[in-house]
């Protein structure tokens, strides 16, 4: 198998290849991350394309499933990918984003010449990409199976990070990986599991196992007795505002702290950018409901202090109209002080908003179903829940979008029974 560095050097030709299909006749293979395009999804699409490359004559094309301009909303992903790709004389400009080419033309090409799509970090095409469904050949994912694409080879395990499953595939086929790829893979596992935290309850034994395999392969900045460090003194010496590279990091803790701080720097974003930064959309039930879920690394009480309850409601309602949603769930999460002068505690909140097509009885039943869900543990955020979007505190803080989507899906599907 060619090394990761040689694979990276093929990336720059991919966008041109997808925009000059008339000059090609061979079968195409795309590796597509999910539409939230978070760090886990981006890294997993790149690493899985590399893992698949020995089995395919033409190099698989990893696709970053967001617009190129939206990378500005993801500074943690920009920093990690820039650092690891530059080590192989490449960069983010070499990557292919979903708006760099015409997906409908690719599908038309696939009908004539062949198209294989591998979904990574999701197991069914996004509601706006359903034309890909007949072409899905493989799935590597860590979300609840939506039971679509029955023709696909699938590896679906509810681990903390999809990068864990891709790392396992590479370990089983190669035995080892290059230092840059090891760093690229370990980063999203740390982010998605809150640094393998037992209190966050997201890390599985397999996540821990893959981090233990990857860490010795990373070239840390200097020798450390324990690169899986929990000493915050080292990382906190650095300000992530000033970090331009990750070449200097000396432990997993430092890597985690820098990327996590960048991921959480969202207070400067507009309400619309907060809602779209980490967003997924589905079609659920019969008759079909369009469901959108935004995940925001910004506690609701901070957002309210910045924008006001009234302005947040207006922004969410405008988002519902813009995306033509029947129901929107806005998940906010992060640390916030408990009372004046209190310590910062991790928590979650939830906003639920409905489109104009959803009648009052349907709204009541959806809200009632969500409040009964033991996965969420919802409590009213305000004593006076007036009209419009409804605000909740989510006491089950371990439940992320991976758990919230199945919960809303079950509620909506129960409406048609």
Using CA atoms, how far apart are residues 327 and 169, in angstroms rounded to an integer? 37
Residue 229 scores a pLDDT above 60: no
Average pLDDT over residues 126-152: 96
Place of tokens 């864990």: 164
Whether 322 shows a pLDDT value over 50: the answer reads yes
pLDDT of residue 387: 84
Segments in 278-400 forming alpha helices (H): 300-307, 309-323, 360-372
Q: What angle do CA 345, 307, 408 make, to 5 degrees?
A: 65
Q: What is the pLDDT of residues 21-31, one digit of tens each?
A: 999 889 999 99
The pLDDT score that the predictor gives to residue 222 is 67
Q: Is the pLDDT reported for residue 233 higher than 50?
A: no
Q: Which whole number is the average pLDDT over 246-264?
A: 94
Q: What pLDDT was estimated at residue 245?
A: 84
pTM strictly above 0.85: yes
Beta-carbon count within 10 A of 350 CB:
22
State residue 235's pLDDT score.
41
Cα maximum dimension of the chain:
66
| pLDDT class of 399 with cuts at 50, 70, 90 | very high
* Dihedral of alpha carbons 291, 367, 319, 260, sign: negative
- Give the pLDDT confidence of 48-82 residue by residue, as tens digits: 999 999 988 888 999 999 999 999 999 999 999 99
Residue 234 has pLDDT above 70, yes or no: no
Backbone angles phi, psi at 249, to 5 degrees: -70, 145
Q: What is the mean pLDDT of the chain?
A: 92
**DSSP states of 96-162:** EEGGGS-HHHHHHHHHHH-EEEEEES-SS--TT-GGGGGGEEEEEE-S------TTSEEEE---S-H
pLDDT, tens digit, for every residue of 167-179? 999 999 999 999 9
As a whole number, mean pLDDT of residues 120-130 equals 96
Where does the pLDDT of residue 237 fall: very low under 50, low under 70, confident under 90, or very high at 90 and above? very low
378 phi/psi in degrees, rounded to 5: -80, 140
What is the predicted pLDDT for the residue at 417?
A: 56
Which neighbouring-strand residues pair with 283? 290
- The pLDDT of residue 230 is 42
Using CA atoms, how far apart are residues 295 and 42, in angstroms rounded to an integer? 17
**Tens digit of each residue's pLDDT (9 = 90 or more) over 325-357:** 999 999 999 988 777 777 888 899 999 999 999
Residues 182-196, mean pLDDT to the nearest whole number: 97
Asked whether the predicted pLDDT for residue 272 surpasses 90, the reply is yes
């Amino acid at each position: 198998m060619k090394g990761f560095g040689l694979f990276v050097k093929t990336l720059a030709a991919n966008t041109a290849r997808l925009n000059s299909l008339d000059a090609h006749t061979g079968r195409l293979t795309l590796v597509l991350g999910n539409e939230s395009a978070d760090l886990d999804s981006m890294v997993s699409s790149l690493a899985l394309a590399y893992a698949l490359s020995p089995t395919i004559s033409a190099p698989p094309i990893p696709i970053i499933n967001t617009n190129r301009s939206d990378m500005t909303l993801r500074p943690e992903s920009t920093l990690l990918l820039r650092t690891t790709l530059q080590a192989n004389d490449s960069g983010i400009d070499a990557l292919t984003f979903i708006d760099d080419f015409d997906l409908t033309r690719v599908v038309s090409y696939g009908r004539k010449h062949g198209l294989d799509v591998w979904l990574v970090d999701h197991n069914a095409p996004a509601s706006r990409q359903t034309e890909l469904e007949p072409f899905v050949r493989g799935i590597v994912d860590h979300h609840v199976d939506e039971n679509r694409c029955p023709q696909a080879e699938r590896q679906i395990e509810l681990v903390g990070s999809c990068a864990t499953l891709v790392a396992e595939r590479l370990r089983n086929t190669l035995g080892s990986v290059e230092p840059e790829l090891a760093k690229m893979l370990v980063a999203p596992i740390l982010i998605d599991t809150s640094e393998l935290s037992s209190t966050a309850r997201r890390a599985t034994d397999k996540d821990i196992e893959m981090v233990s395999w990857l860490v010795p392969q990373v070239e840390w900045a200097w020798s450390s007795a324990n690169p899986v460090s929990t000493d915050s003194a080292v990382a906190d010496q650095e300000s992530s505002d000033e970090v331009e590279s990750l070449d200097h990091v000396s432990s997993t803790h430092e890597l985690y702290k820098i990327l996590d701080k960048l991921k959480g720097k969202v207070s400067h974003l507009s309400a619309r950018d907060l809602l779209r930064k980490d967003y997924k959309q589905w079609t659920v039930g019969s008759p079909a409901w369009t469901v959108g879920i935004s995940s925001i690394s910004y506690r609701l009480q901070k957002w309210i202090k910045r924008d006001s309850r009234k302005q947040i409601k207006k922004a969410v309602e405008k988002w519902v109209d813009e995306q033509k949603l029947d129901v929107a769930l806005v998940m906010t999460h992060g640390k916030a002080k408990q009372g004046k002068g209190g310590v910062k505690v991790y928590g979650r909140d939830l906003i639920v908003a409905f489109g104009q097509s959803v009648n009052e009885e349907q709204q009541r039943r959806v809200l009632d179903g969500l409040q009964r869900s033991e996965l969420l543990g919802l409590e009213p955020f305000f004593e006076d829940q007036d009209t419009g979007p409804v605000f909740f505190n989510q006491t089950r803080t371990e439940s992320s979008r991976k758990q919230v989507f199945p919960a809303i899906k079950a509620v909506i599907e129960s409406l048609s029974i």
